[in-house]
Amino acid sequence: MKNLLLFITLLFISVPAIQAQDEASYGFAKGDWVLGGAVTFGSSEIDGVETSGSEIAPAIATFISDKWAVGVAIGLESMEVDGNKMSDTNITLGARNYFMDLNDRNKMYFSLGLSFDSGDSFDDGMTSLGAGFGLNYFMTENIIIDFGLANILSYAKSGDNSAMQIGWEGEIANRWASPTLGIIFKL
């Protein structure tokens, strides 16, 4: 009976110690690299005008501290509007500051992005600046769901035209124009 009691006592002591060694670590550290991006497809018909488009925009970023990440995304977009085909290229430089840990798996961030667009849709190209907030949810240590509340602040300039927007909706077609849902892989 004493041996059984000793065995049960050791079992209760050792199981939490074994589990503590396997606990996951969610979050980022200086030197971490993340890979993400966007893939979009869409089509519409409004007042007889057919529009379709697709975009692929891979992105990579590195953490320069435990809270700050800087990165770049390159977007390739093709569109067809009433039979006219166009293609554009977008290069975005971005930064994120993870300022609040809601719990182990949820991290809030503030983001800034500077974007340069060129292609068939632009006579002079377009430069835009955007800012927003977002939330990351860690499904595992290395797979993260990213929800961005984009376009809290945006500014765009193309030739002599410019637009500035503060709020949740914008009038310019750029990657900061709406909330986004994505997936990030921590390398």
Q: What CATH number corresponds to the domain at position 87?
A: 2.40.160.20
Q: Specify if 171 maps to a domain.
A: yes
Q: Specify if 6 maps to a domain.
A: no
Range 36-48 average pLDDT? 83
Q: Specify if 33 maps to a domain.
A: yes
Give the residue numbers spanning the domain of 90: 29-186
Tell me which range, 25-34, 49-58, 163-172, is most confidently predicted by mean pLDDT.
25-34
Cα–Cα distance for residue pair 121/145, rounded to 1 Å = 31
Range 13-23 average pLDDT? 50
Q: Specify if 21 maps to a domain.
A: no
More reliable by pLDDT, 4 or 110: 110
Q: How many domains does the chain have?
A: 1
Residue 167 backbone zone (phi > 0: left; psi -120 to 50: alpha; other: beta): left
Q: Within 10 A of 27 (CB to CB), how many other CB atoms are there?
A: 16
Cα–Cα distance for residue pair 37/57, rounded to 1 Å = 5
Per-residue pLDDT tens digits for 65-80? 999 999 999 999 898 8
Q: Specify if 42 maps to a domain.
A: yes
